[in-house]
Amino acid sequence: MKEKKQINFEEKELNPASGWGMLFLSLVLYLASAGAFIAGGSVASDGNDSFAALIFILGSIILLLAILIDCGLKVIKPNEALVLTLFGKYTGSIKKDGFFFVNPFSSSVNPAYLQQMKEWGQKVKSSELKNTSSILRKNLSLKAMTLRNEKQKINDEQGNPIEIGVNVIWRIDNTAKAVFNVDNYEDYLSTQADSALRNIVRLYPYDVSAQGDEKSLRGSSQEVADALKTELQQKVEIAGLEVIEVRITHLAYAPEIAAAMLQRQQAAAIIEARQKIVEGAVGMVEMALNKLSENEICNLDEERKAQMVSNLLVVLCGNKDAQPIVNSGSLY
């Protein structure tokens, strides 16, 4: 069996004519059709019905022609594009802002149009939908947009379940690919963002020890974000989308292990602190013994040195302040 090859649409930018001249022509035609209907009514009142019918037909034709011209008038705002098809065939994209005239039989295509209508319909009352012109247009936005998917529960490299959410900044780069290569470029981006996030998160642990050089989700946010951006860009290339930035917006252990992981982090912090305290205490004891010997303050035998070391370590390493006992007699 032969494999079916997917048609990869290349963007074709159009340079349409200005719409002001055709707008003026349509206004003239509207006036002409109104004049024809008035003249036809006058002729009909004189009893010449056959000639009046011809005038009415002519006025109707002029009116339809004016309406047809109006169907070809398009308004493009800055950072917007219009993808046009003619009888099912892609004719090109308009990416310039302005007022233009195109083939009246051309139709604009935007796969995300219906989804946007549903989202707006949930937020806006039906009576307000008619007054919202931005909803009723099928122009593609070329502005930088934000995708915020729901938080996901994913296992990291060590198998620990974590909750993570990302924020994707993206824009449409190729309008033809965005419209014709995928069914809905917004849904496609959302699905691929979830897939890329799952693929990248399982390669990193949530956190590593302070001495480790291994990258982690918590400590290497920039490296993880760059890896997510590269992975996601490869997946959405076919849809003509450009991923500008990917950032982690939420990162935490799953609720079922959060308490245990907090205890482990606290234990690791206590151990690390104790190690620092012991290292400092040993250094201070060594310094004290050296100073006593150098300055010949007193000569201590090995047993007294051991007792002194024990007392100093208790004072320096204890959690509470030691209660000193003053010895007024001789040490020997």
pLDDT on residue 69: 92
pLDDT on residue 114: 63
Q: Are 105 and 180 in the same domain? A: no
Q: Tens of pLDDT along the chain (332 residues)? A: 444 455 567 788 888 999 899 999 999 999 999 988 888 878 777 777 778 788 888 889 999 999 999 999 999 999 999 999 998 899 999 999 999 999 999 988 888 776 666 655 555 444 444 444 444 457 888 999 999 888 888 888 888 888 888 999 999 999 999 999 988 898 999 999 999 999 998 888 887 755 555 788 887 888 888 999 999 999 999 999 999 999 988 888 877 765 666 666 666 777 777 777 777 777 777 777 777 777 666 676 677 777 777 777 766 676 666 666 655 555 55
Write the burial class of residue 16 (CB in 10 Å: 0-12 exposed, 13-18 middle, 19+ buried): buried
Q: Contact at 8 Å (CB) between 194 and 233?
A: no
Q: Are 194 and 169 in the same domain? A: yes
pLDDT on residue 281: 74
* 216 domain residue, yes or no: yes
Q: Residue 245 sits in a domain of what CATH number? A: 3.30.479.30
* 328 domain residue, yes or no: no
End-to-end Cα distance, the chain: 102
Q: Are 191 and 161 in the same domain? A: yes
Beta-strand pair 80-86/107-108 = antiparallel
Last residue of a domain, one of 86, 119, 137: 137
Half-sphere exposure of 184 (CA within 13 A, CB side): 9
Residue-number span of the structural domain to which 28 is assigned: 17-109
Last residue of a domain, one of 93, 109, 125: 109
* 7 domain residue, yes or no: no
State the total domains in the chain: 4
Half-sphere exposure of 61 (CA within 13 A, CB side): 6
* 262 domain residue, yes or no: no
Cα–Cα dist 283/277, whole Å: 10
pLDDT on residue 25: 93
pLDDT on residue 280: 76
Q: Are 242 and 176 in the same domain? A: yes
* 37 domain residue, yes or no: yes
Q: Are 57 and 27 in the same domain? A: yes
Q: Are 163 and 238 in the same domain? A: yes
Q: Are 240 and 148 in the same domain? A: yes
Q: Are 104 and 115 in the same domain? A: no
Q: Are 180 and 280 in the same domain? A: no
pLDDT on residue 41: 79
Q: Are 239 and 148 in the same domain? A: yes
* 327 domain residue, yes or no: no
Beta-strand pair 140-141/145-148 = unpaired
* 69 domain residue, yes or no: yes
Q: Are 81 and 165 in the same domain? A: no
pLDDT on residue 209: 57
Query: CA-CA distances (angstroms) from residue 202 to 64, 165, 192, 194, 255?
Result: 62, 14, 16, 13, 18
Cα–Cα dist 255/269, whole Å: 21
Q: Are 245 and 175 in the same domain? A: yes
* 173 domain residue, yes or no: yes
